[in-house]
Structure 1
């Protein structure tokens, strides 16, 4: 290797960041760096590790300089140029595999800084860039916690980036997932109380993750989300007690070191008004303190009678770069919702009743529930050197729900016209603490490359429902074909004595270790094990409450393999076990055993057109033991035995051309009850052989956008679901449907700012469909929205 030809001053630190052989700057080899905004010295170390080149630098010249980071597909030269943009630094080739970085000279002897290079392939923008319009991401953390390329990950994982949510004008978090990820449906729980999903046939319950930590029950505001990542199959190895179908994790917006401000006003059908604001940037000159503030306010009526909603959302955050190696982010979040619990339309015969979509089972006098959610989250990371890092996360979440609703007390009566109703009022408080500590590093042994992760986590959830009315027999029945929603007196309802109390606790301690082993750059192994100590219990229904407390310990393994014969093709397989969450009380008021999941999966992934278009095709076989179901007419659950889900899933994401973006999904899901314990004394029919509720055999989606220039964009798409069982007993079905959506947008550049106008139409063909149903009986299926419109004005500057 040649010596340096330039001579810096005597304080020069001639630091070799990484020495390697093989890859050279001059070769048009494509690398896939994912380097976050940070100090330029740390960024250059990361680039050297990724590209296997030697980078020498002047320590004083680098001091205090920051880079906005880089993510995408680049040659080493392109990546270096992008990292140094705006830093006042230049580079000089000293050998084929070595480069020197120094401060740019001034005057007549100044060197040419950052010369233009030819881009060989599709450049992918930084995922945190507010102007990022890419649909495809190459790396994610959710599957392994190690920012591994998706092509090297032996699991199926799908990412919904901010660009997709903006193009589709997502105002409900669940829409971002069910419209864009294969094999995922909406989980309609009691009164649509919280946002939840069904993945690979199995309900995730209230288990939503935020930046890798489990959340409490609730509705989540998409204005604060950077992207959503969905991991298919059991994920308990890294995340504790989760359902075996998969894991939905949303990544929050973090402070950026470049100032950016955005103000958006949306308006739409049924008096929808939604205002959002996003402001971020550095607080001081050296960019060691960064801030971000996200605000949202929305109000809307509904095509459903007596259904008005209002939300206030405020989420400030602060990042402190203590040094080039250490960073801490603190996030606060407050959300208040006034909304109406919606129990849908009851079934008559084998279909939801033929009543108007506006049908409401409640009463105008008892119709104003509310939710308050508060969170404090911290992320602290420290990089010891080029290869080893430690990270700690913490989240406190407090959620209060004030129930005030009338709900159906069972199925339609024998007259096939009236339905009995019950009263539900009073508070529920939930509080959770989640934290984890991860140490990760890279090293080589005997020619094998290792990515090692060692971690521990703790989660605790307390639920307290007190001074509630859960009262049957005092509310008049409703004629569903001639409903009278003004039968009650609010004062009379308040006079009903309190009659219901409920408490739950759920906590675990977990330790885990994971090793990702790479041989010959083509063969990737994943070996992982986790040990959990579980403590859980439930008690009800009158004071004083006695919690039935239980403890379980379990070791869960995960194994995976990826073979990459070529860069564009990965063949993968995995075997995973998992343990589920708190399982509630049986009718004898004892706690159910945890649900146990086992999964086998094989598939392949591809990247075409210089990596611009990626796909994932997988076959899986998943079983769930101690499968739970609700007991009709009672607030209890019991195990029905075992269920099995198997099928094929396909996801396609990226760009067909420079002007045409694509997102497509398809899922074939065969999900049935395979064993039945039988509980005739509680009025429960055998479920063996029944289909799992709300799970269509066939489902899919397609979304295309055409953007011939940087100002105009037009898009359209559809998502479809086949016929689904409406409940566990399969006594009625929800019909299949195809929904078509469309959008058009245009933006103007005004004095360095951008004004974006956009118009979306959802359910363009005005098709009737149902989002989901309550699975324990036939009391409610939630209709989907008819044709609706959303307009938007957004100013970015």
Structure 2
């Protein structure tokens, strides 16, 4: 039967044919000629607009993501979230060729990243003036806590589909967190369509890297699919005897027995072999005006054959989801993490006496560490959607659990002298001290509830509450002293969003956080109270009609109580309050078919408002500048008759900041870094590219209590093959 005759039977047939598709058919009552006299349907010219709903954990084309799971633990439009969220997609990572998580986040407003000398060994960030790193539990993988220590090895970004940053107090859904927020890394997962990619790279410092990403269905019915991602890198760095070697493999497998059920297994193994960039006192850097001996950015201050940082980590777990009805589903996830670290380096001691300084000498001491981290984490929740006329409720209730151990053995060697201008190596590295490490066991259990209430498709009210129970036991290796701690804390969240017809979505919110302080208290037999955070935020998002773009602006006031500091004798004390206020602007857009861009600006006023030392009150938090800004743009040269050539470039500005230094001005200079990339698509399969970082070879310094140099200019060429 021909389609024209089939439609002649009844106009409802067309609607039935389309009922299984994300399309619709409408027959206007005021069109008398729509149905011919013989009863046949006469099709008019029709425009069908169908846009696939974005997968909040899957691939997004370009830099603009519109949905997220990190800020609500539900599949929610970003415009409906009453809190700042920044998302870096896989495409954006590839456009900028980011090789560390720090590089991934270096264009994100409100986020301060560590330079390569540190980010090669760990992930440690400052968001809105507060530390958010692996040691705080602020680095998540697929919505669950991951590492137990900041030195458990940095996350390999090639294994990620996207990175989502939720800014500000966010404990209501995740428990123990710094007030700064969280960074949720989303793993690459099996795909429904075949995916094959192989990359080869060569660049500065004899860098050689090989990577591959394979995925797709395993059967015709689509029940089974897989993903296999791997990377192998051998590379030197600007510092002699400090390599940048990595091995990474991540298999994934999904089973979908029916359309309502999915089970995904995720695993990874990673080796990181590099050298630790020793922290420097500001006075020892070439930026300081003092007469101290100077350590330049490419000087190796360690001992050959002794200095190393070797980390071996594994993860294994699964994600399970089942929908009982279209409105009721459960999610269950579980993961185990394990990391072993061998870490030796020559630590540069205090600047020493005036006599040593006059001789141009520094004191070094061997630091020897052996560490093991292990953790179990699980999250389980029920999501129920209720529709009642003009009201819609998305209810979430769940329980999560996190247990970690961090066993650290730390030793020191004898002190030796070192001349930065005429370095001589072969200093003794034998152990001369007792074990100063400790063994930490901690766990957290949390119950949380949330209701996302939508009224008239315009107003969204988010209400959330949580109760946490946390306990920890710390054993000092030197004394055998046991320090137990038990805490329980309730946190909340409330936010309101209004979605206007013109694309604007203003919001206002209040949220809380808490973080147990697993730090030894030398002045008492008990540990410290948890730090507590509270945030007020107002913002607006804008999606220009007819354009793939998301513009965001936010202002906030964020406070942390029970902050830790040191007294005049050097002991850690719990003193009072730290406050951060700021403005964050972000734009991500596909401006034309050939031009895409991301831009950001940050103003942060982060200060100490209470301290045990009166002179510190009112001073800025170390390493947090007032101003930061960034811009990146990609342009396809179609207008010049070169549609296969894409040119990208960007700049990152970091304003002046403060450091804990004996230098009189205590200021770290502002700097601007320029990056660039050009790629050429040879055909549908082959692409060649060249990337340059720190194009002007700017010599810059990052300081947060201690200081490290940023990387010098690097060039990397690549060949990519997809089929």
2:365 pairs with 1:422: yes
Q: Structure 1 residues 581, 270: CA separation in 2 closer, same or farther (over 3 Å shift)?
A: farther
Q: Structure 1 residues 123, 319: CA separation in 2 closer, same or farther (over 3 Å shift)?
A: closer
* Distance in 2 of aligned mates of 1:124 and 1:764: 39
SS of residue paired to 1:241:
coil
* Distance in 2 of aligned mates of 1:454 and 1:232: 22
1:482, distance to aligned residue in structure 2 (A): 3.6
* Distance in 2 of aligned mates of 1:461 and 1:630: 27
1:432-469 C-alpha deviation (Å, 9 max, x unpaired): 11101011121124631111111110011111123x41
Of residues 358, 362, 366 in structure 1, which corresponds to 2:298? 358
Q: Structure 1 residues 280, 730: CA separation in 2 closer, same or farther (over 3 Å shift)?
A: farther
* Distance in 2 of aligned mates of 1:147 and 1:786: 41
2:267 pairs with 1:339: no
Q: 2:717 — aligned with what?
A: 791
Of residues 727, 731, 748 in structure 1, which corresponds to 2:660? 727
Q: 1:434 — aligned with what?
A: 377
Q: 2:620 — aligned with what?
A: 691
Kindly report which structure 2 residues correspond to 1:738-757, keeping only aligned pairs within 5 A, or say none. 738-749=672-683, 753-757=684-688
Q: 1:223 — aligned with what?
A: 158
Q: 1:209 — aligned with what?
A: 140
Q: 1:487 — aligned with what?
A: 426
Which moves more between the two structures, 659-668 or 756-765? Answer: 756-765
* Distance in 1 of aligned mates of 2:258 and 2:661: 56
SS of residue paired to 2:103:
helix
Q: 2:311 — aligned with what?
A: 371
The 8 Å contact of residues 540 and 547 in structure 1, kept in 2 or not, is answered as yes
* Distance in 2 of aligned mates of 1:413 and 1:124: 66
* Distance in 2 of aligned mates of 1:450 and 1:239: 21
2:401 pairs with 1:458: yes
Q: CA RMSD in A?
A: 3.2
1:666, distance to aligned residue in structure 2 (A): 0.3
SS of residue paired to 1:764:
coil
Q: 1:713 — aligned with what?
A: 646
The 8 Å contact of residues 224 and 254 in structure 2, kept in 1 or not, is answered as yes
- Structure 2 residues without counterparts, runs of 5 or longer: 8-13, 30-40
* Distance in 2 of aligned mates of 1:449 and 1:720: 44
Q: Structure 1 residues 611, 580: CA separation in 2 closer, same or farther (over 3 Å shift)?
A: farther
The 8 Å contact of residues 202 and 717 in structure 2, kept in 1 or not, is answered as yes
The 8 Å contact of residues 693 and 728 in structure 1, kept in 2 or not, is answered as no
Q: Structure 1 residues 447, 129: CA separation in 2 closer, same or farther (over 3 Å shift)?
A: closer
* Distance in 2 of aligned mates of 1:411 and 1:624: 33
Q: 1:610 — aligned with what?
A: 546
Which moves more between the two structures, 563-572 or 395-404? Answer: 563-572
Q: Structure 1 residues 672, 266: CA separation in 2 closer, same or farther (over 3 Å shift)?
A: same
2:374 pairs with 1:443: no
Of residues 695, 699, 703 in structure 2, which corresponds to 1:773? 703
Kindly report which structure 2 residues correspond to 1:609-648, keeping only aligned pairs within 5 A, or say none. 609-629=545-565, 637-648=572-583
* Distance in 1 of aligned mates of 2:18 and 2:169: 41
* Distance in 1 of aligned mates of 2:295 and 2:45: 65
Q: 1:149 — aligned with what?
A: 77
Q: 2:692 — aligned with what?
A: 761
SS of residue paired to 1:432:
strand
Q: 1:17 — aligned with what?
A: none
1:687, distance to aligned residue in structure 2 (A): 2.3
2:612 pairs with 1:673: no
Q: Structure 1 residues 264, 349: CA separation in 2 closer, same or farther (over 3 Å shift)?
A: closer
Q: Structure 1 residues 633, 611: CA separation in 2 closer, same or farther (over 3 Å shift)?
A: farther
- Structure 1 residues without counterparts, runs of 5 or longer: 8-24, 27-52, 58-76, 81-91, 98-110, 679-684
* Distance in 2 of aligned mates of 1:497 and 1:410: 18
SS of residue paired to 2:407:
strand
State how many pairs are aligned.
Answer: 682
Kindly report which structure 2 residues correspond to 1:206-605, keeping only aligned pairs within 5 A, or say none. 206=134, 207-216=138-147, 217=149, 218-348=153-283, 351-352=287-288, 355-411=295-351, 413-414=353-354, 415-416=356-357, 417-445=360-388, 447-466=390-409, 468-471=410-413, 474-484=414-424, 486-489=425-428, 493-494=429-430, 496=432, 498-542=434-478, 545-588=480-523, 590-605=526-541
Q: Structure 1 residues 522, 495: CA separation in 2 closer, same or farther (over 3 Å shift)?
A: closer
Normalising by structure 2, what TM-score?
A: 0.88
* Distance in 1 of aligned mates of 2:474 and 2:377: 20
1:793, distance to aligned residue in structure 2 (A): 0.4
Q: Structure 1 residues 253, 349: CA separation in 2 closer, same or farther (over 3 Å shift)?
A: closer
SS of residue paired to 1:167:
helix
Normalising by structure 1, what TM-score?
A: 0.80
Q: Structure 1 residues 219, 96: CA separation in 2 closer, same or farther (over 3 Å shift)?
A: farther
* Distance in 1 of aligned mates of 2:616 and 2:674: 35
1:299, distance to aligned residue in structure 2 (A): 1.5
Which moves more between the two structures, 515-524 or 582-591? Answer: 582-591
